[in-house]
Amino acid sequence: MDANRDAKQDAGPGGAVTARLRPIATIVILDVAAPLAAYALLRSAGLSAVSALLLSGVFPALGVAIDVIRHRRLDAVGALVLAGIVVGTVVGLVSHSGRPVLIEGSVPTGVFGLACLGSLWTRHPLMYSFARGFIGPDTAQGREMARLWQYEGYRRVFRLITAVWGVGFLMEAAVRVAVVYNTSTGTALAFSNVTPFVWAAVLSAWTVAYGTRQRKKGERMMAALAAGERLGVPR
């Protein structure tokens, strides 16, 4: 009965909003707030920077575990995050330095950037595949995206978006590494935890603005073609 009640709540408008906010809240708590708070508390308790960083890394790993339990699978991003945590932990323990532990967060970012750029030579650039997968390939909008793919202008839009995201994420990874090696451990931890989300928000805002501008441009072109046909003007 509890499951039925939860399902009914999720079906309503309030439940839909809660469902959208839940992943964001999980990220804010487990990937940003909890590691920063844990690091500050552990350092104030007398632990070394390396030990505090390793223990605060439990929270992002917990976030990946929650996603695995919820979706019953480990996606590529989650696998990269876990791999980065493991590698950073091992190198940090061996080197007795906190910097490798902090750099592990740049691994998924760098790999994603390279994947975006590499996908430009494939049939579908990565951001197009992500967008269509998020919308749903069997939905009306997903089928419309597949239909529009035949037009060079439409393909060019997604290739540019994918290129911008690829270069942007590689730049973010490089900046994060530079900050880790040129600032204190606490500053680098805060920067490394917050920057990916700020960077993604900026790229998302640019993508929405660029996509909206290109869509309006296409609508104006279609309207002009339709007007020309009504006047008997050849294409």
Each residue's pLDDT, cut to its tens digit, for the chain (235 residues) gives 444 444 444 445 555 545 555 666 666 676 667 776 776 787 678 777 677 777 777 777 777 777 778 767 765 566 666 666 676 667 666 766 667 777 776 777 888 889 899 999 998 998 998 888 778 888 888 888 888 899 888 899 999 999 999 999 999 989 988 988 888 878 888 888 788 888 888 999 999 999 888 888 777 766 766 665 555 545 5
Q: Coil, helix or strand for 105? A: coil
Half-sphere exposure of 143 (CA within 13 A, CB side): 3
pTM of the model: 0.68
Q: What is the DSSP string of 204-222?
A: HHHHHHHHHHHHHHHHHHH
- Give CA–CA dist 207/200, Å, rounded: 10
| Every domain of the chain and the residues it spans | 1-95, 105-235
